[in-house]
Structure 1
Amino acid sequence: MSLETSFSTTVLNWFDQHGRKQLPWQETITPYRVWVSEIMLQQTQVATVIPYFQRFMRRFCDVATLASAEEDDVLHYWSGLGYYSRARNLHKAAKQIVSEFNGQFPPSVQALVTLPGIGLSTAGAIASISMGIRAPILDGNVKRVLSRVKAIPGWPGKSSVTKKLWAIADELTPDTRTGDYTQAMMDLGAMVCTRTNPLCSACPLVEDCLANQAGNQAQYPGRKPKKTLPEKSVSMLMIINEQGETLLQKRPSTGVWGGLWSFPETSAPDKGAMTIDTAVTIKLPLRQLEHWRPFRHTFSHYHLDITPIKAFSSKAHVRLDDARKWRWYQLENPLELGLAAPVTRLMKKLKASL
């Protein structure tokens, strides 16, 4: 038996006994369900994803339903998962699958990676798990397992290290039961070969693991070089009209919270009376400004310090001519819109303050 065959056989034997087989996306395996789950699981823990996945599937049961939905609706069902470009790309890819592939997922890794938001590892997972195609994957869990077993130094985000790990992943992927093997490797990383305090005594690969033999598992994979995150600050204006509604602004489709609805922002608010321009022809005179305690929201690339400002304005002064950019949002009977996480948090506090 070759080393590659021995490795995959060991992994599959472990999976048959200990692998996860009852996750929601495993109940009825289709390319669509695997795809949505894989996108949701990027940068997000399984326990967090499960309720989002179930809710998303109830609303968007197949790729055609997702493709025909409004972006606001998609973002609403994604709200709270973060990394919202994933949801926008999911929506774009669904439209492309319907328009270019007749509603069917293309049956190759090469074609799958042409879809928005689908990288080589995600394509490999879709192809192997739902189509039975031999395709390696290299998500965070698999990177950790292979880095330790083969003692591959360096941060996996570095191109030379990534290239080496891809070569190993391809070499070890079996020709049969490729879907089970893919799930098994992800399970090993999530359940046994964890980032901290790995359960080496429960690992089927312990005898072949070079990091375990050297007793330096914590050194693998190499850490991402540290960098100091820049800091930015903004004030969010929570404007209340006479009907108890609050004003929301739709953010640009690209950038932070792209396509989501948020409170209007100002970088340097006046502590007295102020006016906010919501469009060329719309101006809101504000009164009773109340500055709330600032708080910090951290993104992957910077810290954002937010100062919430509660204010009142008369709806009689306003005509919101462009409903695509501005909405009066009813706190008591909320619309189904995609909201940025800090906005959802502030909404609850704002409602309680009225």
Structure 2
Amino acid sequence: MNKKTNIYIAGHKGMVGSAIWRNLVSKGYKNLIGATSKELDLRDQQAVKFFLKDEKPQVIIDAAAKVGGILANNDFPYDFLMENMNIQNNLIDGAHTAGIDKFIFLGSSCIYPKFAPQPLKEEYLLTDSLEPTNEWYAIAKISGVKTCEAIRKQYGRDYVSLMPTNLYGIHDNFDLNTSHVLPAMLRKFHEAKNNNNSPVTLWGSGKPMREFLFVDDLAEAVVFALENKLPEYLYNVGSGVDLTIKELAETIQDVVGHSGELIWDSSKPDGTPRKLMDVSKMHALGWKHKINLEDGIRKTYQWFLNNIDSIKEIKL
């Protein structure tokens, strides 16, 4: 690796991809390659192969995916399974066919079984059943992990999978129908604050525990994996610290400055009871997160306020 290495970031306009791009630029990397979904349909195998032939990347970082929360995963299972498999298969096989020796695949902590022991270790993969509300996305990501492992095992290529915990931050999705829990809460509290501090109703009991990582910390982990040859095929990336959804809501409420009532709708699903990542393997190699949750939420809210007029699908 050097600063002139051709690096293709799939999904470079998304929250994760854009954070990786910013990080690489800040470190002096010169030859970054990106293509919007209009310029390149990653679901089209031939288009991907032609793109890689033309652009000649030496490294691929796969930050592209069809993503969404519990509601979206539940309503569109086929889309989440097939589109994600098509995207990652085209990129992984395209990279392998083109002779690209370095590939970083990004997944999600939802690949682990619903009732796996806590904290979640990499070796718990495929030891039990998944959380039903997002199993379609999880199965797609598991297939990507195993495909990278297979290429690594059979051909000796440096293909590594990083499994981040729940991410949030700059360029997050704040659409209430498709967003994850933290940005959805942030938007709800913001709107309620502007509506005379009206009550905010949130799904579930507030008891499940979740871990969160600011997206810039994930970008640091990706660049760490880029600049080093990691000895194993799968690594968890997280803060190693969790809290209840209720505590998360109260933290966001405080950051936003909402002073109204908080109501929990227990008729709605909670999802997995707890998801805490064991990040000891990444820590042992030398990577550790830097941004604590409250600071990350403040950064995210400030970005939200600065970009309200241009945030996709938000009408405030």
TM-score, normalisation: structure 1: 0.22
Relative contact order higher in (CA < 8 Å, ≥ 6 apart): 2
TM-score, normalisation: structure 2: 0.24
Flag the structure with larger Rg. Answer: 1
